[in-house]
Amino acid sequence: MAASRPTTAASPLSHFPGDMFPQKVDPRIRSYRVLMAVVASAPGKVLLTGGYLILERPNAGVVLSTNARFYAIVKPIRDDVPDDSWAWAWTDVKLTSPQLSRETVYKLSLKHLTLHESRNPFVEQALQYCIAAAHGLLDLSKKEVLNKLLLQGLDITILGSNDFYSYRSQIEARGLPLTPESLASLPPFTSITFNTDKSSEGNCKPEVAKTGLGSSAAMTAAVVAALLHYLGVVNLSSIKCPHQKQEVGGDLDIVHIIAQSAHCIAQGKVGSGFDVSSAVYGSQRYVRFSSEVLSSAQVAANVTPLRQVILDILKERWDHERTEFSLPPLMTLLLGEPGSGGSSTVSMVGAVKKWQKSDPQHSQNVWRRLSEANTSLEMHLKTLSQLAKDHWDSYKFIIKSCSVQSSEKWMEQAMEPGHETIVKALLRARDAMLEIRYNMQQMGEAAGVPIEPESQTKLLDATMNTEGVLLAGVPGAGGFDAIFAVTLGDSSTQLAKAWSSLNVLALLVREDPHGVSLESGDPRAIEITSAISS
C-alpha cells in the first residue's frame, strides 16, 4: 500500500478575522442545545517488530492495535448560552478522570485559545489544538455554531480500559490467583493503582502502574477524535462500523495529524509516532514521519498564534508510511506481566543512541541484521495470511494440529503436500523471531541496558517451547515491563496457565485491528468486559 498522506487542500486556510467573537450574541444562539454527548475511543498498541529501529527512517515496524481502548466523552457544561456570554473573554472546561478520582476545572481563553494552567498536558494540548483547528478549518457559516459550543463550556471525561493499568498488586492483595479470570472479575474502569517505590522520597509523586500499551497516545487520539467530531471539524459517524473507515479517510488524517502534534508537544519531544498512528488507524506496518514536520511547530508555538501553528502543521508534507497489517487467522496475541518492575524507555533509548555514536560500525551491523530479521518475520506472517486465504481447509488443519504440539513436532503434522508449505512458513516465522531476539540481546549488552534481561530470556525460552506457541518476545523497547506471545488455535488458554505457574499474569488484551471509533454511548452504561479467548 502506498504511503498514507493527508489531504488538506480543501480546508479554508487563508483568512481569519481579528475578532473571532461578535460583540452581541444572536438570540437564536441562546436556544441552541446539544442533546447528546460525543463518545470516541482509540486503542492501545503492541509493537511486535521495530523496537529502536522505528525511531529512524526508513526503518519499519509492525504495530498491533488491541481491544484495550481509551474513551473520551465530550458534552456541554451548560445546556444554554447565557445572556451575558457576549462579554466573556473565557469559557469553562471541566476534565474528569473517574479512575483517578480527579476533576479539574480550567478557564479557556476565547482569544488565545489557551488554558490558564497545566495539570494533564496530553489532554490539554489535545484540547487547545482541536479548538485551534476548528477555528482554522471551519468556514464562516460554521463559526457561529462553534462559538455556541465553546460558550456552553466543554465537559470532558476520560476513561481507560483496565488493560492499560496493572492490577497485579490488587489481585495479590485479595489472595486471588494470577490468572485472566481474576482480572476479568474486576469491574470495568476500576480505580487505578500506583507504583510503590520505597526508595523514593515522600514528596515524590507516585507513578501510575501501567502495562505499556501506550495509554497517553490512545488517550490523546480519543480526546482529539471526540473533540473534532463534537466541534464539527470532522465527521466520524461512519466508523461506528469499522469496515467503513475508508469513507472518512480524510477526516481520520486530520485526527491523526492533530493527535500526533498534540502528543509530541505534550511529551516535549518528537517521537516516532507509531503509537498515535496505531491509535488512529489500527494495526499496521509503519515508517515514521520526518521529525522536521513538527520540530518547527515546537519553536513556532511560543511566538505564533496557535491557530496559525495548526494550519502550518496541516500544510506540512507528512511523509509517514502506513500499510494495513494484522495477524494471520486463528492466531492470538497474548501479553504477560512478569511483575519484575518497570523500565524507562527514554533512558534505554538514550543509552542505545550513545552506543551508536561510540561504536558506529558494530551498531550498524546489528541494526542491519535486526532490520533483515524484522522484514523476514513480517514477510512470513503475510505469507501465512495468504496461505489461509488460498488454502483455508489445509491452513485450519495445520493450525489446529500444531496448536497442541511443540514446534519440533509441527512438521510431523503435514499429511498432504500443501500442509508442508504452511508448516515451513510457521517455522520460518519462529526462526525470524529468534533472530530478532538475538540481535536485541546483542544491542542491549553493547549499550549496557536490559533490552532482553536474563529473567525475560528464561521466561521467553520457556514460552517458545510451550505447545502451540509461534512467537514470543519483549514488545517495543524491551525491558522488564511485559512479554508477548503469538499462539496458534486455542493454545492461549494453556499458555496463560503455564505463565501463572511461573508467576506471570496473562492479561486480557488481544489484537483488534481497528483504530479510532465513534461509540454509541457512555461505556460505563454498557457492560464492557474483556473476553477471554476460549
235-239 — which CB contacts under 8 Å span 24+ positions?
236/40, 236/516, 236/517, 236/518, 237/518, 239/516, 239/517, 239/518
Q: Is residue 318 domain-shared with residue 375, that is, in the same domain?
A: no
- The count of structural domains within the chain is 2
Q: Is residue 289 domain-shared with residue 309, that is, in the same domain?
A: yes
Which cell numbers hold the place of 105?
476545572
Query: Residue 147 belongs to a domain with what CATH number?
Result: 3.30.230.10
pLDDT (mean) for 471-477: 93
Which has the higher per-residue pLDDT, 110 or 27? 110
Q: Which residue, among 196, 216, 191, 192, has the nearest Cα to 206 in the 3D structure?
A: 196
Angle, in degrees to the nearest 10, between helices 215-230 and 121-137: 30
Question: How far is it, in rounded angstroms, from Cα 223 to Cα 22?
Answer: 28
- Those residues whose C-beta lies under 8 Å from the C-beta of residue 213, and which sit 6 or more positions away, are 44, 45, 46, 66, 68, 163, 164, 509
Q: Is residue 250 domain-shared with residue 344, that is, in the same domain?
A: no
Q: Which residue, among 62, 49, 509, has the nearest Cα to 323 in the 3D structure?
A: 62
Over residues 259-311, the pLDDT tens digits come to: 999 999 999 889 999 999 999 999 999 999 999 988 767 766 667 888 888 99
- Tell me the whole-structure pTM to 2 decimals: 0.88
Specify if 20 maps to a domain. Answer: no
What is the number of H-type helices and E-type strands within the chain?
16, 12
Q: Is residue 143 domain-shared with residue 244, that is, in the same domain?
A: yes
Q: Is the pLDDT of residue 514 over 50?
A: yes
26 — pLDDT class (breaks 50, 70, 90)? very low
pLDDT (mean) for 103-126: 87
Which cell numbers hold the place of 360?
558506529
Q: Is residue 101 domain-shared with residue 148, that is, in the same domain?
A: yes
113 — pLDDT class (breaks 50, 70, 90)? confident
Q: Is residue 398 domain-shared with residue 519, that is, in the same domain?
A: no
pLDDT (mean) for 204-232: 89
Helix (H) or strand (E) holding 318: none
Specify if 331 maps to a domain. Answer: no
Report which DSSP code applies to 531: P
Question: How far is it, in rounded angstroms, from Cα 37 to Cα 435?
Answer: 49
Report which DSSP code applies to 342: -
pLDDT (mean) for 43-67: 96
Which has the higher per-residue pLDDT, 442 or 534? 442
Q: Is the pLDDT of residue 1 over 60?
A: no
- Those residues whose C-beta lies under 8 Å from the C-beta of residue 109, and which sit 6 or more positions away, are 89, 90, 115, 116
Q: Is residue 319 domain-shared with residue 448, that is, in the same domain?
A: no
Q: Is residue 118 domain-shared with residue 145, that is, in the same domain?
A: yes
Predicted local distance difference test score (pLDDT) of residue 35: 46
Question: How far is it, in rounded angstroms, from Cα 337 to Cα 176?
Answer: 15
| Parallel, antiparallel or unpaired: strands 154-160 and 90-97 | parallel
Which has the higher per-residue pLDDT, 143 or 400? 400
pLDDT (mean) for 151-164: 95
Predicted local distance difference test score (pLDDT) of residue 209: 81
Specify if 531 maps to a domain. Answer: no
83 — pLDDT class (breaks 50, 70, 90)? confident
Over residues 342-399, the pLDDT tens digits come to: 566 778 999 999 999 999 999 999 999 999 999 999 999 999 999 999 999 999 999 9
Predicted local distance difference test score (pLDDT) of residue 465: 97
Q: Is the pLDDT of residue 116 over 80?
A: no
Q: Is the pLDDT of residue 400 over 70?
A: yes
Q: Is residue 305 domain-shared with residue 383, that is, in the same domain?
A: no
Q: Is the pLDDT of residue 213 over 90?
A: yes
Specify if 2 maps to a domain. Answer: no
Specify if 427 maps to a domain. Answer: yes
Of the listed ranges 189-203, 205-219, 263-277, 490-504, the least confidently predicted one is 189-203
Give the mean pLDDT of the chain.
86
Predicted local distance difference test score (pLDDT) of residue 497: 96
Q: Is residue 102 domain-shared with residue 169, that is, in the same domain?
A: yes
Specify if 159 maps to a domain. Answer: yes
Q: Is the pLDDT of residue 457 over 80?
A: yes
Q: Give Cα 213 distance to the centre of its chain.
A: 7
Specify if 1 maps to a domain. Answer: no
Query: Residue 370 belongs to a domain with what CATH number?
Result: 3.30.70.890
Q: Is residue 270 domain-shared with residue 359, that is, in the same domain?
A: no
Contact 164, 158 (CB under 8 A): no
Over residues 163-192, the pLDDT tens digits come to: 999 999 889 888 999 999 999 999 999 988
pLDDT (mean) for 192-206: 56
Which cell numbers hold the place of 11?
480546508
Distances (CA, A) of 40 to 218, 219, 394: 11, 10, 40
Q: Is the pLDDT of residue 416 over 50?
A: yes
Q: Which residue has the cell 485491528?
A: 513
CA dihedral for 206, 114, 70, 260, sign (positive or negative):
negative
Q: Is residue 274 domain-shared with residue 370, that is, in the same domain?
A: no
Quote the percentage of the chain above a pLDDT of 90.
67
Specify if 130 maps to a domain. Answer: yes
pLDDT (mean) for 17-33: 35
20 — pLDDT class (breaks 50, 70, 90)? very low
Q: Is the pLDDT of residue 153 over 80?
A: yes
Which has the higher per-residue pLDDT, 193 or 89? 89
Q: Is the pLDDT of residue 443 over 60?
A: yes
pLDDT (mean) for 3-18: 33
- Those residues whose C-beta lies under 8 Å from the C-beta of residue 97, and which sit 6 or more positions away, are 103, 120, 157, 158, 159
Q: Give Cα 310 distance to the centre of its chain.
A: 22
Q: Is the pLDDT of residue 530 over 90?
A: no
Q: Which domain holds residue 416?
A: 339-503
Side by side, which strands form the sheet with 483-488?
Answer: 469-473, 483-488, 331-337, 505-506
Q: Is the pLDDT of residue 451 over 60?
A: yes
Predicted local distance difference test score (pLDDT) of residue 481: 81
pLDDT (mean) for 4-13: 34
Which cell numbers hold the place of 111?
482569544
| Parallel, antiparallel or unpaired: strands 469-473 and 331-337 | unpaired
